[in-house]
Amino acid sequence: MDRAISAVNLGAASDLSIWGLFVQADIVVKLVMLLLLAASVWVWAIVFEKVTSLRRANRAADGFEDRFWSGGSLDDLYEEEGAKPQHPIAAVFGAAMGEWRRSLRAAGADLVHSGVRDRVERAMAVTTQREMERMERWMVFLASVGATAPFVGLFGTVWGIMHSFAAIASMHNTNLAVVAPGIAEALFATAIGLVAAIPAVLAYNKLASDLARFAGRLEGFATEFGAILSRQGEERA
């Protein structure tokens, strides 16, 4: 009788609010929760940074392509934006123009047989890869959180339930008032794991698609610009 009364009192004293579930949890479960919360905050920070940088890069690319196809001097455009590029497409343009100018000085009129086209294309390909690697930074973290956060939360849940069962065994009481708080604390870890994982997976899929589209834009510009420089080389020969 006394044991049943103490179990009821324990259940009444248990705080099942979000803060209460965290405070009352086992130290291992607390560490899991804190790890998952930190991962969730970092995921949102990455998503904000990626969305902002992609938006900025696309706006800059729109403006640059308008100036590029306006028929103005490529040399003037290089001096304005290519020499010290502030965005990816200007960096690709600057790499190509820099290589073109160096080849023009070295090979003179014999641009067709000097391998300049291959060097220009390599310069643009390397720059495109470097710019995309910079823009894709932290994408692996999003994928990792999306894949592992549910299992980390599940580990916290399993650990918490084991701890609860050990406490139940020591009290020799399976009253729901004794079992419920510990299981609720454990399941809370799984909930936090899902809160971290679901946005990470959704954001990764969306950002990966947007980054692939932007990489295609850079590669398309590089192909078109390479063809323009190749024609100019043939006209000079």
Q: What is the pLDDT of residue 6?
A: 41
pLDDT at 48: 97
Label residue 168 left, alpha or beta by phi (over 0 means left) and psi (-120 to 50 means alpha): alpha
Torsion sign across C-alpha atoms 143, 201, 220, 79: negative
pLDDT at position 97, please? Answer: 92
Domain-embedded: residue 16 = no
The number of residues making up the chain comes to: 237
Asked, for residue 15, whether it belongs to a domain, the answer is no
Q: Tell me if 14 is assigned to some domain.
A: no
Confirm whether 6 is domain-assigned. Answer: no
What is the residue-wise DSSP string for 14-81? ---SHHHHHHHS-HHHHHHHHHHHHHHHHHHHHHHHHHHHHHHHHHHHHHHHHHHTTT--HHHHIIII
Residue 141 lies in a domain: yes
What pLDDT was estimated at residue 102? 84
**What is the predicted pLDDT for the residue at 131?**
96
Give the angle subtended at the CA of 61 by the CAs of 60 and 62, to the nearest 5°. 90
Structural domain boundaries, residue 154: 26-236
Question: Domain count of the chain?
Answer: 1
Residues of the chain with pLDDT under 70: 1-16, 106-114, 173-179, 233-237
pLDDT in tens, 137-163: 999 999 999 999 999 999 998 988 887
The model's pTM is 0.83
Whether residue 5 lies inside any domain: the answer is: no
Confirm whether 65 is domain-assigned: yes
Residue 93 forms part of a structural domain: yes
- Residue 27's pLDDT is 87
The whole-number pLDDT of residue 10 equals: 42
